[in-house]
Structure 1
Amino acid sequence: MNFFEREQIAPSGLVSKARCTQSLIMFNVISILIGLVALLLAIPAFLPFLGWAYWLVIPIAVVGLVFGVFSSHRSGRNLNIIVILVGVGRLLLGGGIF
Structure 2
Amino acid sequence: MGLISLLWGIVAMLLMFIGLIPLLGWLNWLWIPFAGVGAIIAALGVLFGKSGKNGRAKAGLVLNTIVIVVAVIRLSMGGGVI
* Range into which the TM-score falls when normalised by the shorter chain: 0.7 to 0.9
Long gaps (5+) in structure 1 = 1-26
Alignment equivalent of 1:41, drawn from 12, 15, 24: 15
Aligned mates of 1:36, 1:60 — CA distance in 2: 12
The code of the aligned residue for 1:51 comes to: G
Q: How does 1:1-98 map to 2 (within 5 A)?
A: 27-72=1-46, 73=54, 74-96=58-80
Across the two proteins, how many residue pairs are aligned to each other?
71
Normalised by the size of structure 1, how large is the TM-score? 0.68
Q: CA deviation at 1:67?
A: 0.5
State the Cα deviation string for residues 13-67 of structure 1 (Å, max 9, x = none). Answer: xxxxxxxxxxxxxx11111111111111111210111100001111110010001
Give the corresponding residue for 2:50.
none
Long gaps (5+) in structure 2 = 47-53
Normalised by the size of structure 2, how large is the TM-score? 0.80
The code of the aligned residue for 1:62 comes to: G
The code of the aligned residue for 2:78 comes to: G
- Structural RMSD (CA): 1.3
Aligned mates of 1:93, 1:55 — CA distance in 2: 14
Aligned-pair identity (%): 45
Aligned mates of 2:71, 2:2 — CA distance in 1: 21
The code of the aligned residue for 1:92 comes to: S
